[in-house]
């Protein structure tokens, strides 16, 4: 099989910058922010928010406009598919509004000149994302049971390696920033404040001679000193790590980014419902090393709705949001710091994906 890679220091196949480089958000090019259906088969915006609220520790929300094929079968994606999630992780568990396929992608209107994407239905706003680098995120379930209204301030943007899949090229940048606002659960509004990891995927349909991705684990963590990290651990169909898609990124308190190309997940514990309960990371780059022990909060599925296929139990939804707490040792400049961290993650394993 031909070896194809997408490595730090090389030009991205999709964005105008360099893979692994961290940019100040205010200097990031406008053409890399906007939805452009003329050039890309699928694009989206996804926010992983982790709050210091005991009542609502985390929220994941976002959309993906246009379908794509992450597998190996010759299956034509639905270009008018709109994937849509509003997932509120409360103290008592998860409430997941998952109306994917309920609205056509063509109903999501985007401004061609500035970052402003919205969907309205029945005279009500379902979601709107606008502004840069100071943003407004508003997501609301159709019947109004869940709602998130957040002011988001983006600090940095890092272009990640292109994920080369058999049927598409999956490119993405990742931001770090702060978020504050309110989350509504029924008739109760909860003020929240914390951190956000926000990513913008772009997909181009293409047949490529690469090994399929069997599993990935996506980790995000903020630390008590204001720094943070994010990255992927991915394996192929033979459970071998995919070198170019096992990586980490560390952003120091001043906003300087470092790519951690030597990234291992030496220990991963999976629960009875196919959802991780704990893992460790060993990420290393030039002049920096991170060793982290991460635990997943044991939160049940309280309710999921939006379509007839909404999951009835946690194990039916293998990208269940994973609310994280952890302890991390960061070594740089000959000094090691022990830091507490918190984050939000997702885990995907094709063996458990519904047919």
pLDDT at 351: 83
User: Mean pLDDT of all residues in the chain?
Assistant: 94
Question: When comparing pLDDT for 74 and 256, which is higher?
Answer: 256
pLDDT at 354: 55
**Per-residue tokens: 259:** 């790519």
- % of residues, the chain, pLDDT over 70: 98
Phi, psi torsion values for 84, nearest 5 degrees: -145, 130
Predicted confidence (pLDDT) at residue 302 exceeds the cutoff of 70: yes
| Burial of residue 238, with CB atoms counted within 10 A of its CB: 0-12 exposed, 13-18 middle, 19 or more buried | exposed
| Strand ranges inside 104-227, DSSP E | 109-110, 116-121, 124-130, 134-140, 146-159, 163-165, 168-185, 188-205, 213-223
* Overall CATH class of domain 22-352: mainly beta
Per the DSSP assignment, residues forming a β-bridge with 93 are: 90
Tens of pLDDT, residues 91-135? 999 999 999 999 999 999 999 999 999 999 999 999 999 999 999
| Strand ranges inside 25-145, DSSP E | 42-51, 58-65, 82-90, 93-97, 109-110, 116-121, 124-130, 134-140
| Burial of residue 100, with CB atoms counted within 10 A of its CB: 0-12 exposed, 13-18 middle, 19 or more buried | middle
| Local confidence band at 353 (pLDDT 50, 70, 90 cut-offs) | low
Predicted confidence (pLDDT) at residue 355 exceeds the cutoff of 60: no
Are the C-beta atoms of residues 92 and 98 closer than 8 Å to each other? Answer: no
The count of other CB atoms within 10 Å of the CB of residue 282 is: 16
| Exposure string over 142-159, b if 16+ CB within 10 A, otherwise e | beebbbbbbebebbbbbb
pLDDT at 1: 36
Distance from C-alpha of 305 to C-alpha of 95, rounded to nearest angstrom: 8
| Local confidence band at 352 (pLDDT 50, 70, 90 cut-offs) | confident
CB neighbour list of residue 176: distance below 8 Å, 6 or more residues apart: 154, 155, 156, 195, 196, 197, 222, 228, 230, 251
**Per-residue tokens: 95:** 């409430």
What pTM was estimated for this model as a whole?
Answer: 0.95
Q: Is the peptide bond before 101 cis (omega within 30 degrees of 0)?
A: no
Distance from C-alpha of 86 to C-alpha of 261, rounded to nearest angstrom: 32
**Per-residue tokens: 193:** 């404040």
Tens of pLDDT, residues 166-190? 999 999 999 999 999 999 999 999 9
Distance from C-alpha of 47 to C-alpha of 135, rounded to nearest angstrom: 12
Predicted confidence (pLDDT) at residue 3 exceeds the cutoff of 60: no
| Local confidence band at 140 (pLDDT 50, 70, 90 cut-offs) | very high
Segments making up each domain of the chain, as ranges: 22-352
Residues composing the chain: 355
Give mean pLDDT, residues 33-60: 96
Question: When comparing pLDDT for 291 and 213, which is higher?
Answer: 291
């Amino acid at each position: 099989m031909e070896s194809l890679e997408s490595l730090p220091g090389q030009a991205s196949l999709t964005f105008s910058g360099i893979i692994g480089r961290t940019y100040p958000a205010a200097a990031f090019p406008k053409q890399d922010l906007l939805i452009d259906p003329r050039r890309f088969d699928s694009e989206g915006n996804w926010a992983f928010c982790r709050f210091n609220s005991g009542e609502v520790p985390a929220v994941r929300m976002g959309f993906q406009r246009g379908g794509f094929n992450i597998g190996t079968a010759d299956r034509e994606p639905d270009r008018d598919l709109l994937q849509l999630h509003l997932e509120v992780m409360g103290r008592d568990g998860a409430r997941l509004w998952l109306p994917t396929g309920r609205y056509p992608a063509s109903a999501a209107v985007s401004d061609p000149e500035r970052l402003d994407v919205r969907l309205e239905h029945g005279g009500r706003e379902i979601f709107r994302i606008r502004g840069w680098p100071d943003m407004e995120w508003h997501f609301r379930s159709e019947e109004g049971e869940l709602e998130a209204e957040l002011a988001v301030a983006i600090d940095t943007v890092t272009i990640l390696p292109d994920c080369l899949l058999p049927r598409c090229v999956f490119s993405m940048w990742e931001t770090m920033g702060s978020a504050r606002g309110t989350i509504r659960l029924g008739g109760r509004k909860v003020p929240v404040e914390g951190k956000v990891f926000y990513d913008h995927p772009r997909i181009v349909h293409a047949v490529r001679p690469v090994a399929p991705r069997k599993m990935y684990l996506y980790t995000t963590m903020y630390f008590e000193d204001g720094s943070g990290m994010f990255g992927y651990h991915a394996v192929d169909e033979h459970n071998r790590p995919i070198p170019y898609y096992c990586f980490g990124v560390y952003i120091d308190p001043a906003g300087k980014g470092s790519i951690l190309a030597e990234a291992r997940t030496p220990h991963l514990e999976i629960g009875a419902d196919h959802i991780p309960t704990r893992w460790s990371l060993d990420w290393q780059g030039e002049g920096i090393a991170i060793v982290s022990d991460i635990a997943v909060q044991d939160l049940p599925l309280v309710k999921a709705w939006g379509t007839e296929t909404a999951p009835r139990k946690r194990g039916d939804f293998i990208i269940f949001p994973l609310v994280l707490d952890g302890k991390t040792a960061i070594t740089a400049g000959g000094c090691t710091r022990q830091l507490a961290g918190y984050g939000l993650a997702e885990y995907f394993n094709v063996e458990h994906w519904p047919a």
